[in-house]
Amino acid sequence: MKSDFSKKLLHWHKHQNDRKMPWKGERDPYKIWLSEIILQQTRVEQGWQYYERFIQTFPTIIDLAKAPDEKVYKLWEGLGYYSRCKNLLETARVIASNYNGIFPSEYEEIRNLKGIGPYTAAAIVSFAFDKPYAVVDGNVQRILARYFGLTTPTDTGAGKKLYQQLADALLNQKLPALYNQAIMDFGATICKPQNPLCNDCIQRPECVAFAIDQVKALPVKTKMLSKKERWFYYYLVVINKRVYITKRSANDIWENLYEFLLEESANGTLPDFAKSPFLKKVFEKQAFSIVSVSKQFRQQLSHQTINGQFIVVNTNKLPRLMHHFTPVEQGKLSQFAFPGLINKFLVSHPKLMNF
């Protein structure tokens, strides 16, 4: 059954797989790595344009390593999961300094680089260097669970070990790049999470899940992300037509992106901003006035929902507690990388600085 699976998969890849992507067939480990990092938690349709912009802006890993942080984060803006961007920069600079800009070719060396897990390392060494390492992501786990009728949860230690062992056993040792590309594409286009194309599936005659009508039930997962809701109140402190921003540095969402003065509330109860204890603490005895309060904006992340409102505050000098904030002149906010929530607000207020 195992040999039939691999043979049929490669046959499908050669004769029926017409999935097109700009990095498909790529042999440059830098471009393969870049595409894999971009595609983590990102749909191919969205990642495609980001990949092309990155390659155009930073043709080599040396170009990326030398780039200012702000330029890279601005280019990444909108992709989310900004820790990926932080790790991307760190790894590019390690390769530039420790490997003379040449991407390492050994699996373990690649695994030791920041932000590269087993799946990404296997993709790089197989696609760039033809080394026999099987990729195992959600697509692969789903295919194997259905084909073999596996009920071991994919998100457990035992499950991860089982699916990796099975993927290793199925891998075509002589054609690892072709095989890995084939199984990834098969999961994305045929054995899909929702509405799989079982009637078009070359593996259907041997598929256990299809035979016992359990396709929708597999794979099994034990853990569900507990989604929480958060309320952010952003104060746009304006002094002489300049608004003040700061960079998020805490170990939280949107690290290294810019934001305005932030108050996070435990609930969504709209405060009386003119009498806000938070603003009184920030401004101390200094006078300020509330110019406007926006409607509520929302951004859905994978594990939490962020609700935000934006309050424009006028004052005549920078409060002592905001000494580390950076002033931005009228019309120049677009030069900075902000979270999606803030960008939604800015897009809806194109004349924000015309007070």
Contacts of 194 (CB under 8 A, 6+ apart): none
Q: Which two tokens stand for residue 172?
A: 């075509």
The residue whose two tokens read 């194109």 is: 350
* 90 is a catalytic site residue: no
* CB 307 within 8 Å of CB 234: no
Cβ neighbours of 85 (radius 10 Å): 24
CA distances from 274 to 187, 280, 291, 309, 320 (A): 54, 9, 10, 15, 19
Catalytic residue among 26, 36, 106, 264: 36
Q: What tokens appear for 134 in the block?
A: 């099987």
Residues 180, 168 contacting (CB under 8 angstroms): no
DSSP string for residues in 180-191: HHHHHHHHHHTS
For residue 285, give every residue at least 6 positions away whose Cβ sits within 8 Å of its Cβ, in sequence order, or none: none
Record the tokens describing residue 47, joined without a space: 């990642």
Residues carrying an active site annotation: 36
